[in-house]
Structure 1
Amino acid sequence: MINKVKDLRTFVRGRVLLPGDDGFDQARRPWNLAVEQTVPAVVEAADAADVAAVVRFARVREMAVSAQPNGHGATTDLDGAILLRTRRLDSLRIDPAARRASVGAGVSSGSLQAAAAPHGLTGLPGSSPVVSVTGVALGGGLSWFGRKYGWVADSVTAFDIVDAEGRQRRLTADTDPDLFWAMRGGGGSFAIVTALELSLHRAPHLYGGRILWPAKHAPDVMDAYRQITATAPDDLTLWLDLLHFPGSDPMIAVDAAYLGQAATARGLLSPLDRLPHPLADSRRTMTVAELGTITAEPTDPGAGSSRAELLTELDDTAAKTLLADPIAPLMSVQVRHLGGAFTRPSDSPHGPLTEPYALYLFGVPADPATAEAVIARQRALADALPVSGRKPFTFLSPGETPADAFPPAALHRLRDLERRHNPRITFRANFPIRG
C-alpha cells in the first residue's frame, strides 16, 4: 500500500504524511480517541485543487478517499483509504443583506457564529462550536434553532464539490436536484465538499444558559421540563441532562436557548424558578457566538462511546424510567426537545422528524470492562424507553447503518444515487450508504 502513495507529494501543494513521518500519528488521530484510524497516507489539502488532485490520484490507483476536516465522523473502516484533511479550506464570507454565508469545508460552527453575530444573524449551531459546518450539514444536523428552522441541511443553498472523477463542480437544486437532495443530509458518500453556501437567519436577541441541581431534585426538574416543553413556542429549545462526572455527585441540568427577549424567556422558563435553589444558573442575554458556553462541551479530542435514539413520548412511565437508577457508568444522558419545524416537510433524505424528543447516551470507555459496561447501560436504557427505532444520521454510532436513520424509500434513492455518482466507492464515508 505504501508503494501506491509514495509519490503523492508530487501531486498536491498541501502537506502529505506517510507512516513513519514525524506527525503522522497526530495527523491521522480522530476526534474520538476510542476510534483507531489506520491509513496509508494523510493529506492536508491546501485548497480545492488539492482535493481534486487527491481524488484523481486515488481513482487511477483504485484507492478510496475519506474526507475529515478535523477528525469528527471518524471510522475504523477506512480499509486503505487516503485520509483527506480539509481544515485549511477555511474561507468564510458573510453577505448580511442577502442573509447568506459562504463557508469553506474546514470552517467550524463557532467560527461561523462569530462572523454572523455582529450582523444580528445566525447559522444553525449545535451544542459544540468546534465541529465543521460542512460535516454537520452533510449529516442533516440538529441545531439549537432546529425547532424554529428545521434541519441544518435545509438551509444549504449550494455546495462546491469534487466529484468521483476529480472534477470541481458547483451543485445546486437547479444544476442537479437529485444529488443536491442526497447531500443535504445523506452523508459523504457522493462527493467531497470543499465549500458550501447557506442561508442565515435573523437573531437580534438571544437568552440562554444552563441551570444545574443536585440529582435529588431530578423528579421535580423532570416535571418542570415536561411542563415547559409541552407548550414551548418554536423559538425556545430545552435540553434535559442527567450528569455524573468522575469524582462528583450526580446532577441534573436544563439547558435553554430562546430566540427572543430575556423578559419573555424568563416567563416561559418560570416553572424552573419555582424549583429548589440550583447549584448554578448561567442564564443570561448572550450573542449567538456564545452558544457553545451553555453545555461547555470539551474542545479537545477524547475517547467516547455514544448511542442516540428518538423517543415517541416522554410520559410518566418514560420519565420514571429515566430517573429510576443512577446513569453510571454513563457520564451523561441527554433528552433534547424536538418538534416545531422538525415535524414539517423537508426536501432532504431524513424528511420530517415526528418524534418529539431525541435521546443521547454518552460514556467514556476508559478500559475494556468499562467500555462493555457503558454499552450495556446504553442498551438497557434504550430497551426500557419508548423509542421509534429511527436515529438521526448525524448521531449514528459504530455498528449502526444508514438503514437506522432513513426511511426505506429515501435509502433506496440514496443507494441508487451513490451507484451513479460514486460507482467505484472512491469516497469512503463513515457510514457508507451501500454498507
Structure 2
Amino acid sequence: MSITSALSANLSDALRGRVWTPEHDEFEKRSRPWNLAIAQQPAAVVEAADADDVATLVRVADSAGLAVSTQPNGHGASGRVDDTILLRTGRLDGISVDPVARRAVIGAGVRSGDLQRAVAEHGLTALPGSSPVVSVTGVALGGGLSWFGRAHGWVADSVTAFDVVDAHGRRLHATPDEHPDLYWALRGGGGDYAIVTALEIALHPAPHVFGGRMSWTGEHTRAVAEAFRALTSTAPEELTAWLTMLQFPGAEPLVALDVTYLGTEVDARRLLSSLDALPAPASDTRRAMSVAELGSITGEPTAPGPGASHAELITALDDAALDALVSEPIAPLLSVQVRHLGGAFARPSDSPHGALGEPYALYMFGLPLGEEAARAIRAKQAALAAALPTSGRKPVTFLDPTERLSDALPPESIERLRRIKREYDPRGLIRANFTSLE
C-alpha cells in the first residue's frame, strides 16, 4: 500500500468527516483555493465533522510527519499547503447568539453573511466586511477590516475567546486570562499558532443601518473622488465610505461610492447631502437596510475565480495622490478601491497590528487570465502604489501571496509571534497562509 493510500486509510478510520487524497476523483476540486490563480497540491484534504475530528487529525498528521493547513473555504490562500493535509472547517458552522449579553459563539466555518442573518433579528451586528461568503474566523485571524470598523475597530478587537486545537492535539480555550499569548497572537497575527474550531465575539447595537452604492460613468471620476475626499475629512465614525474605480472587460469605465451608516436614513442622507451636488448617478442603491444585506452593496463574486490583488495603506489623500489615482485609466486592473479608515482603527489595540494610523487603504484587483495579463496587472499595481504616499505596511487580511507577515506587522509583534510559535508549535505542524517564521 502506498504512503498516500496508507494515509487515506488512517484518516478515514480515525475521522467522522470526509477525506480526499489524490487518487479520488474529487480531489482536485476539493483542494482548490478560492483564488483559482493559486496552485496548491496538498497530500490530502480533510473536511472535519467537529472539533474532535480536528484534534484527531492533528495527532494523525504528527505521526505521519505532515503539517496541517486550515482553509475554511479557501480565502486568503498563499500556496503554502503543498505536502500538507488541507483542513476544511466549513462543517463547523454552529451559531449561538446571546442577545442580552451581546455575544455570539460560532464555529470556525461560519460565513459572515450567515452570522449577520442570525444577529439581525436581535437588532445587533457583528463586524462584516464587503463579502458575505468569507469565514468570520479567517477574517479575525487577519485582523479584519469591516464596514463598521471606524466605529468598533478591528474585527479581532471584538473576539473575546477562541476554542482551538494546538499542535499536540489538545483542545484549549484562549482568552485574556487563559493562554493569553495565544489569544493575542490569534487576534490578527494569522492562524499559524493553533487551529481555531470556534470563537466568541462581542456584538454591537445596530437598530438602524443605511447603505448602498452610487455609481457614475468614468468621465465623473475626478469629481467623485474629490467629493469622497471631502466627505471623509469630516465623516463621523458611524459613517464609512469607499471609493471604487471599475473597468469591466469590454465596458466603459465606472466610478462608485459605497457607503454604510450605523444610524437612521434621515441622518445618513443629511451627512451625505454634499454628494447631491455631483452629477446624477447612473444608479443609486442606497436605502435603509438590514445588517444581513450588507454583503450585497459591492456585489462581490460569491463563487471562486482567479484574481491578482495588491494592497497598501495610504498616509494622505492630497492633490498629488488624487492625481495619481484618477489621471490614468486603471486598465488592465478590474478595480481600484480606496477605503476610508480612521476612527476606532486609529485608537490603541492590543493586537499584533495595533493601531492603524493610516487614514486610507488601497486595494487593487485584476483578472490574471494568462501570464502576459498577470505581468501587466502586477506592473500596474506596482506603478500605482509607487505613485501614492504609502506607509509600507498593510493589513494581514490584504497580504498577497508574494508577501510576508513582516510586510503587515511591526517588528516587535513579529518577534513575539515567533516566540509564541516556538512555544505552541515547535515542530511547525500548523501551517497558515502566512507565517511569522519567514
TM-score, scaled to structure 1: 0.99
Taking the aligned partners of 2:76 and 2:296, their CA distance within structure 1 comes to 23
Opposite residue 192 of structure 2, the aligned amino acid is: S
Matched, 1:347 2:350: yes
Taking the aligned partners of 1:137 and 1:394, their CA distance within structure 2 comes to 9
Decide whether the 8 Å contact of 1:4 with 1:61 is kept in 2. no
| 1:432 matched residue in structure 2 | 435
Matched, 1:208 2:206: no
Displacement of 1:22 in angstroms is: 2.2
| 1:362 matched residue in structure 2 | 365
| 1:35 matched residue in structure 2 | 38
Decide whether the 8 Å contact of 2:146 with 2:154 is kept in 1. yes
Decide whether the 8 Å contact of 2:156 with 2:188 is kept in 1. yes
Structure 1, residues 109-164: CA drift from partner, whole Å, max 9, x if none?
A: 00000000010000000000000000000110000000000000000001010001
Runs of 4+ in 1 over 4 A off after TM superposition: none
Equivalences for residues 185-334 of structure 1 within 5 A: 185-334=188-337
Matched, 1:5 2:14: no
Taking the aligned partners of 1:206 and 1:133, their CA distance within structure 2 comes to 20
Q: Does 96-105 or 75-84 show the bigger shift?
A: 75-84
SS of the equivalent of 1:222 reads helix
Taking the aligned partners of 1:327 and 1:114, their CA distance within structure 2 comes to 35
Decide whether the 8 Å contact of 2:103 with 2:200 is kept in 1. yes
SS of the equivalent of 2:121 reads helix
Can you give the 5+ residue segments of structure 2 that lack an aligned partner in the other structure? Answer: none
Structure 1, residues 262-309: CA drift from partner, whole Å, max 9, x if none?
A: 111111111211111111000000010000111010000000000000
Equivalences for residues 76-225 of structure 1 within 5 A: 76-225=79-228
Taking the aligned partners of 2:315 and 2:424, their CA distance within structure 1 comes to 35
Opposite residue 7 of structure 2, the aligned amino acid is: V
The two structures, once aligned, show a CA RMSD in angstroms of 0.8
Decide whether the 8 Å contact of 1:349 with 1:406 is kept in 2. yes
Opposite residue 419 of structure 1, the aligned amino acid is: R
Decide whether the 8 Å contact of 2:188 with 2:353 is kept in 1. yes
| 2:47 matched residue in structure 1 | 44
Decide whether the 8 Å contact of 2:43 with 2:82 is kept in 1. no
Matched, 1:419 2:412: no
| 2:390 matched residue in structure 1 | 387
Figure out how many residues of one structure are paired with residues of the other and give that number. Answer: 435
Opposite residue 191 of structure 2, the aligned amino acid is: G
Can you give the 5+ residue segments of structure 1 that lack an aligned partner in the other structure? Answer: none
Structure 1, residues 11-43: CA drift from partner, whole Å, max 9, x if none?
A: 101111111212111110110000111011101
TM-score, scaled to structure 2: 0.98
SS of the equivalent of 1:321 reads helix
Taking the aligned partners of 2:225 and 2:74, their CA distance within structure 1 comes to 35
| 2:380 matched residue in structure 1 | 377
Taking the aligned partners of 1:81 and 1:99, their CA distance within structure 2 comes to 38
Opposite residue 334 of structure 1, the aligned amino acid is: Q
Displacement of 1:77 in angstroms is: 2.1
Displacement of 1:323 in angstroms is: 0.4
Opposite residue 18 of structure 2, the aligned amino acid is: R
